Amino acid sequence: MLGFAAAAAPSASTSAASAVTSLANAAHANNFSSPFSSPDFISRTFSPSNQPLSAASLKLTSYRFKAMADTLSTPKLDSQSSVAGRRQTLISLSDKKDLALLGRGLQDLGFTIVSTGGTASALESSGVSVTKVEELTCFPEMLDGRVKTLHPNVHGGILARRDQEHHMEALEKHGIGTFDVVVVNLYPFYDKVSSSSKISFEDGIENIDIGGPAMIRAAAKNHKDVLVVVDSDDYPELLEFLRGTQDGQQFRRRLAWKAFQHVASYDSAVSEWLWKQAGEDKFPPSLTVPLSLKSSLRYGENPHQKAAFYVDKSLSEVNAGGIATAIQHHGKEMSYNNYLDADAAWNCVCEFNKPTCVIVKHTNPCGVASREDIIEAYRLAVKADPVSAFGGIVAFNVEVDEAIAKDIREFRSPTDGETRMFYEIVVAPKYSKKGLEILRGKSKTLRILEAAKNSKGKLSLRQVGGGWLAQDADDLTPEDIQFNVVSEKAPQESELSDAQFAWLCVKHVKSNAIVIAKNNCMLGMGSGQPNRLESLRIALRKAGNEVKGAALASDAFFPFAWNDAVEEACQSGISVIAEPGGSIRDPDAIDCCNKYAVSLLFTNVRHFRH
């Protein structure tokens, strides 16, 4: 067939024949077994349909063979280097932290280092001898770097099992050497797409690594024979391991786990980003949440339960604030319950626009007050329930300076005027230098946290047996809703303000929830009772005589009014009630409030909190 084509175009045949001869010689000279060098491949390339080729086609084909021949003639590694005792390492890094340390260490141990692009240049600049991956693959980097290591000479050397004779025979047949160590990290996709300077969709796509994950997964799968490293923190331990004489499989398995986890987290970021780019529903058909261990905890809710704390590394959580990313300036290590209580206090205090103090016990706010003078707000929050506040969590939405820090340190309990108030945690958006110094002097154990405000629009996840519930966060504030007057008596401006304040507090109290407030200060609350009437009675008892003229907020509607919660609230002296409405007995609630000349507001928004 080749002769037929040559007869049709003599001038092109000479060029083509020369190219084929060069290719064959190059292949034999390099002991290179390839489909390119087989006669079948040559005939298929020149005439797959057994038809003569035109002179132009034959000329183009000859150029292609010449390019292949030139590539194949490039010197490459001794294919049996690892088999013969010379160990090989493959290094390809985006993050080149401690690369010189690693390269010199491996070189001192006698490893031949194969590397790519910028990594190779960085190693050479550090005085480390490098074989570039093109010399191994006999193929240049192409497609703007998309294809560098996706080649049998790379993946064959990683995936071959040393204990399988036919694997090693295949490597020898094709002139491929083995790799003993693979060190790879990935394109900085996460950092790129989460940076404040937004990148285009096209740039995001180009930052998705392909060759890197393939090498990592290959090495991790074959970890019995190949050590895989994805974290620069593991370089010293790797070098120490290689200097030893024992081959511990546990170390290899731990590195393999870390490698697969690294790729899984990377892929979850890509998946999350692409789902948002597709503009689909907020809840995808499948969801992966990448979690990173922040600390092991002494125990869980109770001493017999083991526990740990993880940080959510989802793209949606980048710079989104919250207790998980808070800075601890002082005190004992955080416990499981500390995190829950601090989160509850911080979420509540961040809802308020005015300077506010919130005190939480067992995730429920027991004291809340807003004042221009933050010291006054703090004292009022303690006064709301000083017994519960003792040993609680104190949160502020303004800077803690010297003055408020002194008051936190010295303030005595309103119950006896003598006992100095004790707290587990103080959390605020920032601290003055002097304020921080004073708080540190209050107690060696006091945990001092500096946190950023939670962003709105987050996804809220909660575990149930065998699954997870997902929902939008309850981000609504009084400015987002209407307080509709349904009673004959309309509230005065101050009463409406009190109702809005109580409504903002009650959304953070466990259901069934009742909050009584006046003058931007919580007076009492009832939480977590199976019936709303009992929650009301607890709140009234805590409010005491101050209930006269106060506002009441309920997290859900009142199922009954007469001889029940609504009437008891009216009889106690409450001046305005805010509730969602929606009960079939709403007319009873309206009639009851009209009888006692109490203003009734329907919000049409429920705030269940379980």
Going by the DSSP 8-state scheme, the letter that residue 363 receives in this structure is T
Q: Is 362 a catalytic residue?
A: yes
Identify whether 512 is preceded by a cis peptide bond (ω within 30 of 0): yes
Helices (H), 131-248: 133-137, 152-159, 165-174, 189-194, 201-206, 211-221, 235-243
The Cα–Cα gap between 417 and 69 comes to 93
Distance, in Å, from the CA atom of 338 to the CA atom of 392, rounded to the nearest integer, reads: 10
- Is 548 a catalytic site residue? no
Please report the beta strands in 244-306, taking only residues with DSSP state E, as ranges in sequence order.
Answer: 291-297
Query: One-letter amino acid identity for 75?
Result: P
Give the span between the Cα atoms of 472 and 455, in whole angstroms.
12
> Where does residue 331 rank: exposed (0-12), middle (13-18), buried (19+ CB within 10 A)?
buried
Per-residue tokens: 50: 């057994």
Q: Which of 167, 192, 221, 430 is catalytic?
A: 221
CB burial of residue 25 (10 Å; 0-12, 13-18, 19+): middle
Residue 111: half-sphere exposure toward Cβ, Cα within 13 Å: 25
Of residues 96, 192, 362, 430, which has the active-site annotation?
A: 362
Q: Which residue has the tokens 């004779």?
A: 165
- For 52, phi and psi rounded to 5 degrees? -60, 145
590: CB partners within 8 A, 6+ apart: 486, 487, 600
Residues in Cβ contact with 196 at an 8 Å cutoff, skipping those fewer than 6 apart: 319
CA–CA distance, 258 with 231 (Å, rounded to integer): 9
Torsion angle (degrees, nearest 10) of CA 190, 193, 194, 195:
110
Alpha helices in 402-480 (DSSP H): 402-410, 433-440
For the CA atoms of 404, 408, 411, 414, the dihedral, rounded to the nearest 10 degrees, stands at: 110
> Are the beta carbons of 378 and 357 closer than 8 angstroms?
yes
Q: How many CB atoms lie within 10 A of CB 60?
A: 13
Report the distance separating Cα 167 and Cα 224, nearest Å.
Answer: 15
Q: Rounded to an integer, what distance in angstroms lies between the CA atom of residue 311 and that of residue 461?
A: 14
Three-class DSSP labels, 477-542: CHHHCCCEECCCCCCCHHHHHHHHHHHHHHCCCCCCCEEEECCCEEEEEECCCCCHHHHHHHHHHH
Residues recognised as catalytic: 221, 362
